[in-house]
A and B are shown apart, each in its own frame.
Chain A
Amino acid sequence: MRGLDRQSADLSRAHVQLLRDVMEGRLSRRAAVKRGISLGLSTTALAGLLTARRTPRVSARQDSPLAGKTIDMTILGIAGWPPSQLGVTLAMEGFKPYAKETYGYDVNFSFEESPFDQLFQKAAASLSTGSAQYNIIISDSQWLGALAEPGWIVQLNDIIAQNPELQIEFVEAAQQGYRIYPDGSDQIWGFPQEGDTIALYVRQDLFTNPEEREAYKAANNGEDLPQTFEDWEEVDIDRFERIVSFFHRPDQGLYGTSLQYSKVYDFISCYCYPFMFSTGGEIWEGDVGSYRVEGVLDSETNAAGLARCKDFVKYGPEGVTNYGIAEEVDAFTSGSLATCLQWSALAFQMLNIDMNNPDQPADPSKPINRDMVLVTVPPGFRQADGSLRRTYTLGGQPWVINAFNDEDHMQVAIDFMKWWYQPETQAEFARRGGNPTDKATLSRPDFDTLQPHFRAYRYMLEGNSRDFWHDPNYSEMLAVQQEAFSAYVTDIEDDPMDALRYAACEQQRILFDNGRTDVEPSDSCADVTLG
């Protein structure tokens, strides 16, 4: 494009020069005519090219009903969650000039934020009054039902049908997790903002240390410590336990591993679910009107899974039953964990990478840097046929659009989504540590090497992660489950089945009371309490 502009300027200069030469009598008439014709042809060709180049932009600008206006957009996102912030940063840096250039309007973005466990409350309090205070919301995937059911967010099927730029192919987990409600339907409510999966962060400096390897071999009949991504692909949960128990040295301030056992929000559910999902457990069955939790969640398989999840408490630091996202980042980056199960979206924080300057550590005083850590796949679960299965919990968030937006804000939201999924935008998002979910970006040949965590992230996203309920009663169902799981891992409840039974009975009651199922909790639920 710049070449055309340069040629256009050159031609203008040639025109002036020709005129000057003719007027000053420096050219013969014949030479002047010859140069005039050639200049005329060049000018016509260039004019054609320039017109061809500019026409779509001019027409888009003219077509946009917002041309000349200034629109202020507010995005509500998750506080302290880098992908949310990154979305807004990119919007300001990238979409603002793009909108001016392409559509001819000015747009400003402001960011409202709230922690994970309070974001929905903040959004719901505003949306329930019909407010367009937050034009675009970065919601958690499980809230889709709660936002869609009262009509607070826009159903996107028609918008997608009218805008070919939004007909993007996403990986299946993202399509089902971040977009669809009710499950199994074709109703689309969200656009994936950030994909996320659980990854295993490994202190590679410890694992490759020859003395550690020899000591481990000696203690484990010659079995070596996993060294590469491929080695970790073969690690099952039993071997993982052997590894973390080997590195568990509280007297040296080193602990084997950490899972998020905190009662806050969905932490313990997300980190104990893989022990159930990967061993064949389910959390409910049926469809709207016939949901059944009792007898499904409180199964023997899930009880064994929950018990296995608790087994790893003893390899964590003191207070690990209160560990959530931030506590894990602190413990890992301070060098006190040999391994850690954590969201891949936190890779930059876990590896102590400066987001603005990825080659530099974010905090040089911390003992961890990117060269010391391998981000790999979490352990698998051995199946009856000997194969390994990984079904971990899907994290990540979709963008959803406020249904109370006026026409102008709605149009900007749609324009923004079109821009967000442009290959260049997604590439920039990935370059800065964001996790894309569209197949085009994920299938780039260099994708796995773009960021330290991308290989593990893609591995887990493509067939090894799944989401849980999108039901409008999500928060209530989650609260009782968090209470039950937390009670079990903190020894308030001794039997995992009792904890699951409590959660199952309460969830069945919640669904029944709210008209989501005709299946009443059984009579035996009346006697079920916790602790």
Chain B
Amino acid sequence: MAQLGTQIESVAGARRIEATQPRLSRWRALEESRLFPAVLVLPILIFFLVWNIIPLLWLLGVSFYRFKLTSAQPEQYIGFENFRRLWESSVYWGTLGRTLTFMVCSVGLATVLGILLGLLFWGSARMPGRRLALTLLFTPMILPPVAVGTFYRLIYDPTFGVLNYYANRITGKTYDFLGDKELAFWALVAVDVWMWTPFMTLMTLAALGSVPKAELEAAEIDRLPWLKRLWYVVLPHGKFILMLGILLRTIDAFKTTDLVYLMTRGGPGNRTELVGVTLYRQGFEAFQMGNASAMAVIALLIAIAFTSIYLYVLNYRETRAALR
């Protein structure tokens, strides 16, 4: 009986194989076809085209028009007029300069702090509660900027803010962090650094993790000083990941809008007005779509420029070595 059962099973199995054979062969044929890679790429290509390329071209097109949403006038082609006005606008240059300062300060501080924290955690692999500490450390990064902005507006509040409570106890003074012309900008930078330092820590840990253990052990055996070990062993391996982190942060800091909008609305005066806020205002408060599009195009070009600079720096040594 058992033998009969086995025979029936093998017959059924053979039939199943026969039934799937044509399907498999069709799949294999498709796989071997020259079109196969294109078929695989097609969905993402369509997605990219619909959600990236077409809107980008649309944006570029609109930037050459005078197009105000609340105007009864039809949109009018004005060539580079929107760009010319921005070029001549001292206000826009001021905003751009402020944004670059914000970006450099915020990314610079977050990078330094992130690397230090990363090294600290890297060197304390056996520390009890390390995992919990890391999880808590990464919390600011996963909070939505809307929530962070709201929290910090309350924390900075001169009347009932917790920061002022301690500042008052220490210095005997009350500080209007978001209303003071000297403090507001740095109060924003501090929040951005608080929020994004964990990201740089994460990137640092990833960079350190990419260093081959053998090389680290060799450096240890050779009793290479700590700084030299970092420079000659760790950095050559980890720099790509680290630079990627810096690049992502730079682009992100350049676009900062939500945090500023929630905390200061660009004030006091225009002390915290960054490019993202100006762009939002032009687009969604003034409904000057042409002008806002021109600003967006410039922002895009600046982001591309930064990417190129980073990539060039990243590959500089290799390129130089190859040239030699």
Contacts and interface: CB of A to CB of B under 8 A. Distances in A.
B174 A318 contact: yes
Contacts of A336: 159
Q: What is the size category of the interface that chain A forms with chain B?
A: 35 or more
A263 B265 contact: yes
Contacts of B285: 120-121, 475-476, 479
B271 A317 contact: no
Nearest to A510: B286
B176 interface: yes
A336 B94 CA distance: 38
A514 interface: yes
A529 B90 contact: yes
A262 B159 CA distance: 15
A530 B286 CA distance: 20
B237 interface: no
B147 to A, nearest CB: 17
Nearest to A321: B179
Contact of B269 (A319, A483, A506): A483
Contact of A490 (B158, B179, B286): B179
B288 interface: yes
A197 B73 CA distance: 35
A120 B158 CA distance: 31
Given A331-B159, A479-B286, A530-B91, A149 B70 contact: yes
A128 B73 CA distance: 13
B281 interface: yes
Contacts of B91: 506, 529-530
B275 to A, nearest CB: 15
Contacts of B273: 483
Interface string B68-84: 11111100000000000
A483 B146 CA distance: 23
A487 B269 contact: yes
A493 B269 contact: yes
Contacts of B265: 263-264
Given A322-B179, A476-B288, A490-B181, A530 B270 contact: yes
Interface in A282-305: none
Chain B CB within 10 A, most for which of A263, A488, A489, A491: A263
Contacts of B281: 479
Given A319-B159, A319-B179, A491-B181, A472 B269 contact: no
Contacts of B159: 317-319, 331, 336
Contacts of A487: 268-271
B267 interface: yes
B176 A321 contact: yes
Interface string B14-36: 00000000000000000000000
B114 interface: no
A319 B183 CA distance: 12
Contacts of A219: none
B96 to A, nearest CB: 13
A149 B71 contact: yes
Contact of A492 (B70, B164, B268, B287): B268
Contact of B270 (A121, A124, A476, A531): A531
B267 A124 contact: no
A322 B178 contact: yes
A516 to B, nearest CB: 10
B266 interface: yes
A472 B70 contact: yes
B168 to A, nearest CB: 10
Interface in A168-204: none
A65 interface: no
Contacts of B266: 263, 483
A514 B72 CA distance: 11
A146 interface: yes
A486 interface: yes
Contacts of A263: 264-269
Given A149-B71, A318-B176, A531-B269, A492 B181 contact: yes
A150 B174 CA distance: 49
A151 interface: yes
A48 interface: no
A40 interface: no
Interface string B238-274: 0000000000000000000000000011111111010
Interface string A473-489: 10110010001101111
Nearest to B273: A483
Contacts of B88: 526
A319 B158 contact: yes
Contacts of A488: 269
A96 B277 CA distance: 43
Interface string A23-58: 000000000000000000000000000000000000
Given A490-B268, A531-B270, A319 B176 contact: yes
Contacts of A322: 176, 178-179, 267-268
A515 interface: yes
Contacts of B269: 263, 483-484, 486-488, 490, 492-493, 530-531
18 contacts: A124-B70, A149-B70, A149-B71, A150-B70, A318-B176, A319-B158, A476-B286, A486-B267, A486-B269, A487-B270, A490-B271, A492-B181, A514-B71, A526-B90, A527-B90, A530-B91, A530-B270, A531-B270
Rank and list the top 7 A-B pairs by shortest CB-CB distance, nearest first: A487-B269, A490-B268, A318-B158, A319-B158, A263-B267, A492-B269, A476-B286
Given A492-B181, A492-B268, 18 more contacts: A121-B285, A124-B287, A146-B70, A318-B159, A318-B174, A321-B268, A322-B179, A475-B286, A476-B286, A484-B269, A487-B271, A488-B269, A490-B179, A492-B269, A493-B269, A514-B71, A515-B73, A531-B271
Interface of A: 120-121, 124-125, 128, 146, 149-151, 262-264, 317-322, 331, 336, 472-473, 475-476, 479, 483-484, 486-493, 506, 514-515, 526-527, 529-531
